[in-house]
Amino acid sequence: MGNDILLGSQLLGQGGIERADVLNGLDASIKELYLNSSLDTLHHLRKQLPTVANYYSSQLAQTNPAYFKFLNPKQRQALEDKLLFAFYILSLEHKRHTMAQRKAKIAELEANLQHCSLLLSKLRASADPLSPQNQLNAELNESPKYLKFFGYVIVAPYIVQQIMAFVDNKAQSINNAKTGTIIESLSNINEARLFWVWAGGMLTSIFEMLPDSFYNNQQAKDHIGDAAPITGYMSFVLYYTRFAINFLLLLKHTFKGPWMSEEEKSLNLSTWERFKTQWNQRKFALLNDLIWASANMACFFWLKGTGQLGYIGNVVTAGLLVMDLVLTIWRFWEENTVHNKQIQALKQAQAELKAQHERLEKRFSALCKIKQLSDEDALEKQKLLQQLQSLEYKINDNLKLEEEMNFDWKYKRYSHINNIVYAAGLLSSFALMCCCFVPATLIAPALAMTLGLVGAALCFVLTTVYAATNFAIEVSKLTESKRLIEKERERLYQEFKNLLSGDQTKEIKDQQRLIYLQIVGLDADSEYKQRLIAFERIKLAKSILVDALIPAIVFVSLVFIPTAGIGIGVLAAGIALTLLINTLINRMGPKEAKAPEFDDNAFVAFKEEALAPPVIPKKTGISNPFRFLGDWRKAKEQEERDALLAHDPFAQVPV
């Protein structure tokens, strides 16, 4: 078994449970928290932790404090175990990013840790009887100022020192550099440049095909290349800048110095091991940016024109597209390997937990057979029962984690396939456009011009389709996620109806209220997902519209309108319109659904609806196009039911 798999199984297995359990004590320290997990071990867990931390962050976001007071003791203990384990995982991830001095991730994780500690505080307070003093304590616990100094102490006091160091800005000034934001901005600018490279290439080929007498075609030929010097310099300046940032970060985390955090300095790793770690993290970006920057600079200054040098430049560019394809496949293979190792580690952890559960269950069964237990055996029996419940929760939670990991990887794999297809299609189209296999001077001019136009058009279309496919993948992921929510909602609704048919004890009524809140939360989440789907579809339509609109605006402005007159104005207005559309759509993003509070009147109405006899709709063979008008449909069904019952109480709705 590989080291990554072994460490991952320890993280999600019994070892992880034991580490999380120490957080129950108010005297928990960093040594107890990590137990035998040194900072070196934490360093080697860097591939496992992000996925697990993201899962528990999403679980925290879905936890609604409103249903805490309806939990039975077993559910309360299971939720507390889950929150403690989530805090443990997020603490590990926080420590890992603190070592690397990633300021944005540190702030995000600290917000999640604070939210987790608040949930733990509310969960423990919900078990106390309602009194003015307890209400006051609950309000104090929710105070941001109070949480800053105490909220973390409820779990692990050592975190306070780290949090306050961050709040007081005691980190090195180099941390203030928002390298992630800078790299993202450079990438966005480069994507816009690449779009114009393919769109401009297609327009140039079209202008070459048209006769000079066609309106202002000669003017269009003269001005289509006006932006070439700007995009030419950008073609290597952007890549070199991005390469320099990543290269400096590689050096920063490889060689010890005052720029390193104390935790990172204390890692028992050689300079070569540090370099390998940074190289594995950044190799794709470094290789891509360095090679593309150097080749683009050579093509811009020297390998250009219609002669032999221009042909060599096209061959070099085609070679770079081959490199892009190889790097894309390589990245997919590496991420697939990491995913398989994560799943294997999770399965290993599950096997260990089940074996441990089986051993404890045998001992528990043996104690249950003893009629007269000693005090020591009774204490052991109680402890075994708690351990069995904790193991059952952990096994079930790991199953959910595995489902979530497979779900995310499914759509990440689709994105990788889209990247590979795009890289291969772009390579083929560019080779066709530039006649890389045969110099254009050796074939008929008309054929060379036709191949150039077809290849340029394919490059542009592939770029547009690639962007649209990425949006479509996101829509598909949201749609399936919504379907899973609705499936879980149906399961809970059936469980709620089953509870209505039994004895209505206080515990049963609390469970009904608990499930009701969970269902309402799922409904809100489903509605949010539906709004997200609509938003992504709008972005998809915008992407296709804008990508198609820009070349059309440029074509009309250059060919049909004299640039000396209003042509430049039309072009500027068109570009401004596309930017305005993009800005307006980005502001339309839906807000995340808030956790619902318990409403007695709504609960009573929900309960009455569940108790009402089911209505079998008439089969007309026609799908109802207004099936989403829930309130209207329910009212109509109620009218039909009342009419039937008024006529004959034993009547059935005909099928």
Inter-residue contact 247 to 279 (CB < 8 Å): no
When pLDDT is cut at 50, 70 and 90, the band that residue 488 belongs to is very high
Between the two ends of the chain, the Cα-to-Cα distance in Å is 60
Cβ atoms of 85 and 42 within 8 Å: the answer is no
Answer with the one of 154, 170, 186 that is the final residue of a domain: 170
- In the predicted structure, residue 479 carries a pLDDT above the cut 90: yes
Q: What is the mean pLDDT of residues 478-485?
A: 93
- Cα–Cα distance between 631 and 384 in angstroms, integer? 50
Residue 248, domain member (yes or no): no
Cα torsion for 491, 493, 498, 501, to the nearest 10°?
-170
Number of structural domains (the chain) is 2
pLDDT at 413: 94
Residue type, 572: A
Residue 103 has pLDDT above 90, yes or no: no
Residue 268 has pLDDT above 50, yes or no: yes
Which of the 8 DSSP states describes residue 307?
S
Q: Half-sphere exposure of residue 82, counting CA atoms within 13 Å on the CB side?
A: 26
Mean pLDDT of 433-447: 70
Burial of 460 (0-12, 13-18, 19+ CB in 10 A): buried
Q: Pick the more confident residue, 21 or 610.
A: 610
Give the whole-number percent of the chain exceeding pLDDT 70: 76
Residue 284 has pLDDT above 90, yes or no: no
Report which DSSP code applies to 612. S
Q: Are residues 64 and 596 in contact, defined by beta-carbon separation less than 8 angstroms?
A: yes
Q: Are 10 and 344 in contact (CB under 8 A)?
A: no
For the cut 70, the answer to whether the pLDDT of residue 503 exceeds it is yes
Determine contact, residues 553/220, Cβ cutoff 8 Å.
no
141, 170, 199: which is the final residue of a domain?
170
Answer for the pair 10, 141: CB distance below 8 angstroms, yes or no.
no
Residue 397 within a domain? no
Looking only at Cα atoms, what is the longest distance across the chain? Answer: 108
Q: What is the residue whose two structure tokens read 């993290």?
A: 281
Instruction: Name the pLDDT band for 431 (thresholds 50, 70, 90).
Output: confident
Average pLDDT over residues 188-199: 82
d(CA 250, CA 256): 12
Who's near 114: CB < 8 A, 6+ residues apart?
147, 151, 152
| CA-based R_g, the chain, Å | 31
What pTM value is reported for the model?
0.78
Q: Is the pLDDT of residue 415 over 70?
A: yes
In the predicted structure, residue 2 carries a pLDDT above the cut 60: no
535-564 pLDDT tens trace: 888 888 888 888 888 888 888 888 887 665
Taking alpha carbons only, the member of 623, 650, 653 closest to residue 637 is 653
Model pLDDT, residue 417: 95
Tell whether 318 is covered by a domain: no
Tokens 């006006």 map to which residue?
A: 226
Q: Specify the 3-state DSSP secondary structure of 216.
A: coil
Domain membership of residue 129 as a residue range: 3-100+102-170
Average pLDDT for 221-226: 78
**pLDDT tier, 406 (very low <50, low <70, confident <90, very high otherwise):** very high
Given 153, 170, 187, which residue is the final one in a domain? 170
Give yes or no for a contact between 109 and 97, defined as CB atoms under 8 angstroms apart: yes
Position 163 pLDDT exceeds 80:
no
pLDDT tens digits, 42-67: 666 777 788 888 899 999 988 999 88
**504: DSSP letter:** -
pLDDT of res. 44: 64
Q: Is residue 108 part of a domain?
A: yes
Question: Is residue 599 within a helix (H) or strand (E), and if so which, with residue range?
Answer: none
Neighbouring residues of 516: CB distance < 8 A, sequence distance ≥ 6: 496, 598, 603, 606, 607
Within a domain: 260: no
For residue 376, being part of any structural domain is answered with: no
Residue with tokens 């096994």: 395
Non-local CB neighbours of 469 within 8 Å, separated by 6+ positions:
418
Burial 424-453 (b: 16+ CB within 10 A, else e): bbbbbbbbbbbbbeebbeeeeeeebeebbb
Q: Which of 613, 509, 421 is nearest to 70 (CA)?
A: 509
pLDDT for the residue 491: 93
Is 444 in a helix, a strand, or coil?
coil
Q: Place 4 in a pLDDT band, splitting at 50, 70 and 90.
A: low
Instruction: Classify residue 14: in a domain, yes or no.
Output: yes
pLDDT of residue 41: 61
Question: What does 54-89 look like in DSSP terms, one character per residue?
Answer: HHHHHHHHH--GGGGGG--HHHHHHHHHHHHHHHHH
* Residue 506 CB contacts under 8 Å (≥ 6 apart), including other chains: none
pLDDT band (50, 70, 90) for residue 273: confident
Q: What percent of the chain has pLDDT over 90?
A: 12
Which is more confidently placed, 180 or 595? 595
Please give the average per-residue pLDDT across 426-448, as a whole number. Answer: 76
* 179 close to 245: Cβ distance less than 8 angstroms: yes
| pLDDT value, residue 191 | 83
Evaluate whether residue 138 is within a structural domain. yes
| Cα–Cα nearest to 596, from 485, 518, 486 | 518
Q: What is the DSSP string of 83-138?
A: HHHHHHHHHHHHHHHHHHT-HHHHHHHHHHHHHHHHHHHHHHHHTSPP-HHHHHHH
